[in-house]
Amino acid sequence: MTTLKESSVRTPNRKYTIAEILEIFAGGQLPLRFTAYDGSTAGPQDAQYGLNLLTPRGTTYLATAPGELGLARAYIAGDLEPYGVHPGDPYELLKALADKVQFRRPPARVLANVVRSLGIEHLKPIAPPPQEALPRWRRVAEGLRHSKTRDAEAIHHHYDVSNTFYEYVLGPSMTYTCACYPHPEAGLEEAQENKYRLVFEKLRLKPGDRLLDIGCGWGGMVMYAAKRGVKAIGVTLSKAQAEWGQKAIAEQGLGDLAEVRHGDYRDVRESGFDAVSSIGLTEHVGVRNYPTYFRFLKSKLRPGGLLLNHCITRPDNRSRATAGGFIDRYVFPDGELTGSGRIITEAQDAGLEVIHEENLRNHYALTLRDWCRNLVEHWDEAVAEVGLPTAKVWGLYMAGSRLGFETNVVQLHQVLAVKLDSHGNDGGLPLRPWWSA
């Protein structure tokens, strides 16, 4: 039997349908059903999951930005419609694509006919959906990368979506970082509480101590510590987060011990803290700024004080730091990731002694699974709050990130370090880890 791919190679001048073009690039192997506005179809008739290309504009998005960015544009704009999955959690469709589809560049003469079949009008870039951030090279108007002005704009893009929307997705804890599941059946709230417990114990915090939590989000770590007698200051670049956090602090009667400031962590003037926590901030710092970042954190600690750095990392120390097109344009503008080895190296080179690190990669996959469940459960309310395109961005981003953690594309590392005194003393730390798992 002659396959579509073989037929295409033998008759390179024949005009292809959109479905045939997709099959050519997929090597004739599609695990899902694909239909297009020109009436063409591809893939198994009884496939559980599928994609429907609704408009010529969607073809332009796919042709002018092949790969994840073009797919995201077409999907977010409403030109590409998945079926078999909920838009709040398209995980199963993404998994099917990742497991069974490997796109390949066809022979030159077939590629030339693909271009002719599409038509030149589909090869001219068009405006992306309004939810997309500018490309990196055009963000210079907001300042140099990782300047205070540009960092503030990047944080605004992601974190100031809507506090109400985040309440739907994150749940009562309002914690937008990897949870730590004490057992596989644990719920999200239990796992987030357990994460704060783990950080608190690793930092050896006790009543009367002082904690600085940079990139504090809505203040979850700050309030956890304050409830246990620790005087805690949190700092966030998001005004919406700071307002929500200060309101929650007041409602819980923690104002004497807890504070969430709206500002840049680099503007914190206090020092001599017993501990510093950085939970989910390092991804926004920029790899080139790690030396300054870790020196700053060290300067805020008293001798013997502890630092807990919790961040997403690459699985190696060679990959490029910048994120892919979809994440950079729609989720975390200017975000950068590197390997845990680089994190440890920079902390050590800043003069901190690294005493422990662990990888919570599988915990983040579970966290994202539960965030998607929340989004699905509150889908109608979420769409009413932020609009359908933005809600779709979140479902796509969280489901795709879950897959990334499951397949070791990304990891989550906690690195614990201590500031030694001038004689190399660590303040009398126990010989072995002092926290419970």
What average pLDDT does this structure show over 395-413? 97
**pLDDT band at residue 138, thresholds of 50, 70 and 90?**
low
How far apart (Å, rounded) are the C-alpha atoms in residues 391 and 246? 26
Give yes or no for a contact between 274 and 302, defined as CB atoms under 8 angstroms apart: yes
Which residues, in sequence order, are bridge partners of residue 273? 301
Among 55-59, 113-117, 431-435, the range scoring the smallest mean pLDDT is 113-117
The tokens describing 307, both together, are 């630092």
Query: What secondary structure letter does DSSP report for 109?
Result: H
Residue type, 249: I
Q: What's residue 332's pLDDT? A: 81
pLDDT over threshold 60, residue 142: no
pLDDT of residue 143: 54
pLDDT in tens, 215-255: 999 999 999 999 999 999 999 999 999 999 999 999 999 99
Cα–Cα nearest to 176, from 389, 163, 199: 163
- Single out the residue of 205, 207, 203, 177 nearest to residue 192, CA to CA: 177
pLDDT value for 10: 44
Full-model pTM: 0.90
Check residue 401 and report its DSSP letter.
Answer: H
C-alpha 47 chain-centroid distance: 30
The yes-or-no verdict on residue 153 having pLDDT over 80 is no
Calculate the average pLDDT of the chain: 90
DSSP 43-66: S-TT-SSEEEE--HHHHHHHHHST
- Domains observed in the chain: 4-123 (no CATH), 148-419 (3.40.50.150)
Q: How many angstroms separate the CA atoms of 298 and 350, rounded? A: 8
Look at residue 152 in the predicted model and tell me its pLDDT.
47
Asked whether 179 and 191 are in contact (CB, 8 A), the reply is yes
* Residues in CB range of 42: below 8 A, 6 or more apart: 19, 20, 22, 23, 30, 33, 34
**pLDDT level of residue 413 (50, 70, 90 thresholds):** very high
| pLDDT tens digits for range 181-190 | 999 999 999 9
How much is the pLDDT for 157?
45
- Give the integer Cα–Cα distance in Å for 337 and 264: 20
pLDDT in tens, 52-100: 999 999 999 998 988 889 999 999 999 999 999 999 999 999 998 887 6
